[in-house]
Amino acid sequence: MKLHKEGWIYCIVASALFAIFIAGIDAALGNYPVIFFLLLLPAGFLWFWVFWFFRIPSRVKTTGDNLVISPCDGKVVVIEETTETEYFKDKRIQVSIFMSPLNVHVNCYPINGVVQYVKYHKGKFLVAWHPKSSTENERSTIVVRNSKTEILIRQIAGAVARRIITYSHVNDKVDQNGELGFIKFGSRVDLFFPIGTKIDVKIGDIVQNGVSTIATI
């Protein structure tokens, strides 16, 4: 396991604040060890959580030209036929994955292909599972095409997440499980598939970035 590059500044700041906090409560409460440790425990948990949030675990990745691999860790919360209004402007199958603050938050490409479209949208910060979050929240849309399919990936900020990082550029040639971006502190990722695509997950399934198969194409 290693630390994601987007997390270094947060981890440095968290460590500095934790050190200052320890020095302060030691000076004030050094003679009261019970109170000292009662205050130290939650502060230590928060410090550890910052490092934990930006972790990149070592995993054996799933690959396959006929497979769509999960772009993120989380829980499948939506599988439905809907109208995609930004790029395709027609009926698509939407699969949405909710990422809690405890999940790994790296986002990766679900297929090999070429990036056709990238657009960032400012927006609201509704809770990530809200039905309107896909169209009203801060979000970034990426479309990848290959000889088998064309898939839209949408990174969506939630009530806590306030920073979407997207590394994609139009005409980039991308690899399945290659890093697409990062969403900081809780969020959601939507996938839009052509009608008729075989979806291999169901609502409530827990999926892992780079490991779980979302669909077969």
Give the catalytic positions in this structure: 187
List of residues 6+ apart from 75 with CB closer than 8 A: 97, 98, 100, 204, 205, 206, 207
- What CA–CA distances, in Å, run from 154 to 13, 49, 157, 186, 200? 30, 26, 10, 14, 19
The answer to whether the beta carbons of residues 215 and 68 sit under 8 Å apart is: yes
Round to whole Å and give the CA distance between 204 and 152. 21
